[in-house]
């Protein structure tokens, strides 16, 4: 199973999210239930950095789909496109949420649900 992981780069206070232990615990628990063999993520800062490290530590295949930040494409559109490409590749979507998200993340969760992809929202501590 391929799991897509999206996450906020910042915690509830606005600081960069750096709690690897929380991400490790959650992904380890989810991997035992869903038996995923690959994580697809955007490689961003904060939670997505911890996700990439989890893959290294747990010998899980990691695929990075970065936003196409180029030309005149607004940054929000680039991230929406990246999230759409992640959703197109996965069977399950996990979203680490800080409680205040940009529209492009909420949009991604809605698109996954419409496509019939189970979406698990994990509130960040």
Walk along the chain (125 residues) and give the pLDDT tens digit of each residue. 999 998 888 888 888 899 999 999 999 999 999 999 999 999 888 999 999 999 999 999 999 998 877 666 677 778 788 888 999 999 999 989 888 766 656 677 777 877 889 999 899 88
Answer yes or no: is 31 within a domain. Answer: yes
Using the 8-state DSSP alphabet, how is residue 66 labeled? -
pTM exceeding the 0.85 threshold for the entire prediction: yes
Answer yes or no: is 104 within a domain. Answer: no
Answer yes or no: is 103 within a domain. Answer: no
Answer yes or no: is 49 within a domain. Answer: yes
Torsion from C-alpha of 12, 46, 78, 66, nearest 10 degrees: -160
Answer yes or no: is 79 within a domain. Answer: yes
Direct distance between the N- and C-terminal alpha carbons of the chain, in angstroms, rounded to an integer:
27
Which residues form the domain of 89? Answer: 2-98+119-123
Burial class (CB in 10 A: 0-12, 13-18, 19+), 86: buried
Per the structure, the count of domains in the chain is 1
């Amino acid at each position: 199973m391929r799991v897509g992981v999206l996450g906020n780069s910042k915690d509830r206070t606005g600081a960069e999210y750096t709690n690897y232990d929380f991400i490790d615990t959650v992904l380890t628990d989810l991997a035992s239930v869903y038996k995923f063999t690959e994580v697809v993520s955007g490689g961003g800062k904060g939670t997505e950095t911890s996700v990439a490290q989890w893959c290294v530590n747990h010998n899980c295949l990691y695929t990075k789909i970065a936003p196409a930040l180029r030309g005149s494409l607004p940054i929000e559109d680039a991230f929406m496109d990246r999230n759409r490409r992640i959703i197109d590749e996965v069977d399950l979507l996990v979203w680490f949420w800080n409680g205040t998200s940009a529209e492009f993340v909420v949009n991604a969760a809605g698109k996954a649900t419409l496509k019939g992809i189970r979406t698990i929202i994990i509130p960040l501590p």
